Amino acid sequence: MIVKSYEIKKINIDEKNFFLFYGKNEGLKKEIIKDLTKNKDKVLSYEENEILDNSESFLDNLLTKSLFESQKIIIIKRASDKILEIIKIIIDKNIEDLFIIINAENLEKRSKLRIFFEKDKKFICVPFYPDNEQTLSKLAYEFFNKKKISISQSNINLIINKCRGDRERLLNEIRKVEYFSKNGKKITSEYILKLTNLTEDYSVNELVDYCLAKNKKKTISILNENNFNNEDCILIARIFLNKSKKLLKLSNEFENNSNINLTISSAKPPIFWKDKEITKQHIYKWKPKNIKNLIYRINEIELLLKKNISNSINLITDFIIEQSSSITNN
């Protein structure tokens, strides 16, 4: 049975035994799992691979119950279709006072695990889609309002924009603001940037974005404005790699439909509104074959960075300037 994430709190966990949570909104998943499992006697977490490698032992443990145990909750992390047969075995055994929460990332419509949970009304299937700007803004506003913290909407927007749609990160940052506010200091944008860990990561994201957009002038400006150290270079390479992989998927889609707005609007996960325009520039500037070459080069650069730590800054700087200058849209 499919249930929306905002409806899950209405479900009586004592009436349902099996839950499937899937999607990339890990922040919201953690909130709901924490709420569902509070005041429970025993909560055990397993990786899917742990269970598959030791299935007999796992099943034996489920059947073993302490005299002092009223309920047992099992959380299976990083799950996939591979776990389905084990779940079916557990269901057949009809174990009392057992609750299982299966946490998976993206599951396609044809996923056997997803189909199994969606079709049976005895089980709960909850998709967790990425938050949009409005959802995150409401979350932050309600948090500050509840805590009676005075903060402008522009400063709330500042935190949200720089968290780039990451709910878990947003919650971490607004809690820092809450702690800071207890000193009675006025919350300004300058204090927010100093207080949180947003400035540096945001600069790295901007750096990669402008590089992929072939804006050499802005790329060099960001490199000059930030005192990146050797340890930052691996982070820059990783962000570069992640963005390039996402760009490859978008570029392939654009080649198929030739509609830039459709490509952007149908992207999974959704592209944060603030990133849409520069993402369009990336798609126009890069062809799939060039992106594949770029991904190969980034992997090469990361290996070089690990072997030449003392020269990391020069290696990554030369690579970034080279990519921001090269012609690729042919």
Q: What is the pLDDT of residues 19-61, one digit of tens each?
A: 999 998 888 998 899 888 887 767 888 999 999 999 999 998 8
Compute φ and ψ for 66, nearest 5 degrees. Answer: -70, 155
**Above pLDDT 70, what percent of the chain?**
92
Between 197 and 249, where is the model more confident? 249
Q: Which neighbouring-strand residues pair with 130?
A: none
Q: Model confidence at 298, in pLDDT bands (50, 70, 90)?
A: very high
What DSSP assignment string belongs to 259-327?
-HHHHHHT-SSPPPGGGHHHHHHHHHH--HHHHHHHHHHHHHHHHHHHH-GGGHHHHHHHHHHHHHHS-
Q: What is the mean pLDDT of residues 232-254?
A: 91
Q: How confident is the model at residue 306 (pLDDT cuts 50, 70, 90)?
A: confident
| Burial state string for 224-240 with b = 16 or more CB within 10 A and e = fewer than 16 | eeeebeeebbbebbebb
For 112-150, b/e burial (b = at least 16 CB within 10 A) is ebbebbbeeeebbbbbbebbeeebbbebbeebbeeeeee
* pTM exceeds 0.95 for this model: no
- Who's near 307: CB < 8 A, 6+ residues apart? none
User: What's the pLDDT band for 283 if we cut at 50, 70, 90?
Assistant: very high
For the ranges 15-19, 36-40, 241-245, 286-290, which has the lowest average pLDDT? Answer: 36-40
Question: All domains of the chain, ordered by start, with CATH?
Answer: 5-127 (3.40.50.300), 133-196 (1.10.8), 203-325 (1.20.272.10)
222/176 Cα distance (integer angstroms): 27
Q: Which residues contact 323 (CB under 8 A, 6 or more apart)?
A: 211, 212, 294
Cα end-to-end span (Å), the chain = 48
Q: Is the pLDDT of residue 257 over 60?
A: yes
Give the span between the Cα atoms of 91 and 18, in whole angstroms. 9
* Confidence check: pLDDT of 207 > 80: yes
**179's tokens:** 């702690």
Average pLDDT value for the chain = 86
Question: Is-contact 170 159, C-beta < 8 A?
Answer: yes
Question: How many distinct helices (H) and strands (E) make up the chain?
Answer: 16, 5
Predicted local distance difference test score (pLDDT) of residue 330? 56
What confidence tier does 196 reach under pLDDT thresholds 50, 70, 90? low
Type of residue found at 177 = V
